[in-house]
Structures are given as C-alpha cells and as structure tokens.
Amino acid sequence: MKYTTKILLTAVVALCGMIFSQVPASAADSTLKTVQDRGYLNCIIGNSFVGFYTVDKSGKWSGMDIDMCRSVAAAVFGDKDKAKFNSVQWAQSFTSIKSGAGDMLSKGMTWTLSRDTSQGLDFLDTYFYDGQGFMVRKDSGIKSALELKGATVCVLTGTSSELNLTDFNRT
C-alpha cells in the first residue's frame, strides 16, 4: 500500500472514531440538569436478584446495583441517600428509561450489539462479568451440556440466555 494511501486511510479511521464516539453533550447535560433540579436520582432496578438488588422487610434496598446507584447519587449530590429505586419487570427496563420513569438503569443486563444500537441509550463500562451454564439434577448422570441433546431446557424468552442457548444448539 502506498504511503499516501496509508496516511489517508489512517486519517479517515481517526476522524470516524472521533465523530462516532461522541455522546451529544446536550442530552447528557439535560439529563443531569433534570436530576439536579428534581433533587434525587431515580434508578430503575429489577424486583429481586440476591447480591445485586434486594429489599428487606423494612423496605431498605441493598446489593451491588443498589450501591452503584448510590455512588452516582453521591457523585451528583454529595449524598448517597439521594438515590430512589423504582423496581420494574425485565420487559419494562428500556421503556422505563426512555419514558423518563427513571434516570439510570442499574440491573443485570448483557451488553449486546443489538441492545447497544437499537435502544437509543448509552451503556457505560461493564462492572460485572458472569457466565452461564446448565443446571441438572445430580442423579441425572449428565456430566456435560453436550449430553442434553433432545432434552427440554427452560430459559426466559427475549434474554441473552435464550440467544446463547440458540447459538449453543447450532454447534
């Protein structure tokens, strides 16, 4: 490849990176101003996922995703208790944010290309990595997922787990 072609290609790639990596400041500024004017951060969370978001008998929330919301509230207001929690079903997660029912979504969610490009929302850095597996009765004798051919498998529809299961079955 000629030197000038390499330079031109490098410049085009760099320019595209700068253009497409920018979040519109006005949208981010507008959301922050709305939150500050309201006086609290409204976090969308799930109903219960031990270790991530659970509520005790007195109504106090705890867990990693709860701590994440409280951390953002502390950064914005200097007070972690300025975080409020709105529990929604999985299917309402994105619509809750888009409708303004919440300011941030803090719940276990796989970051996929389709979610990143189709929802009109911004994913932040990944802060928890997990894995997936199959659970079978101990007395089934099954030692590998490869032995599940023809078995009935339960999975939540519309989740990345369903997509992963579909991919697994293709192999």
Range 71-77 average pLDDT: 96
Q: Taking CA 66 as the corner, what is the angle to CA 159 and CA 31, rounded to the nearest 5 degrees?
A: 85
Measure the CA–CA gap between 75 and 109, rounded to whole angstroms.
Answer: 23
The pLDDT value recorded for residue 25 is 56
Q: Residue 39 is which amino acid?
A: G
With a pLDDT cut of 90, the percent of the chain lying above it is 33
What CATH architecture applies to the domain 25-130? 3-Layer(aba) Sandwich (3.40)
Do residues 103 and 40 lie in contact, with contact meaning Cβ atoms separated by under 8 Å?
Answer: no
The pLDDT value recorded for residue 132 is 85
For the cut 90, the answer to whether the pLDDT of residue 73 exceeds it is yes
45: helix, coil or strand? strand
Tell me the pairing of strands 104-105 and 41-45.
parallel
pLDDT band at 49 (very low <50, low <70, confident <90, very high): confident
Do residues 111 and 126 lie in contact, with contact meaning Cβ atoms separated by under 8 Å?
Answer: yes
> Rounded to a whole number, what is the distance in angstroms from the first to the last CA of the chain?
39
Q: What is the mean pLDDT of the chain?
A: 80
For the cut 50, the answer to whether the pLDDT of residue 15 exceeds it is no
Domain ranges within the chain, ordered by starting residue: 25-130, 132-171
The pLDDT value recorded for residue 103 is 92
pLDDT in tens, 77-105: 999 999 999 988 877 888 888 888 899 98
Any idea which residue has 């992963």 for tokens?
A: 164
The pLDDT value recorded for residue 1 is 56
pLDDT band at 2 (very low <50, low <70, confident <90, very high): low
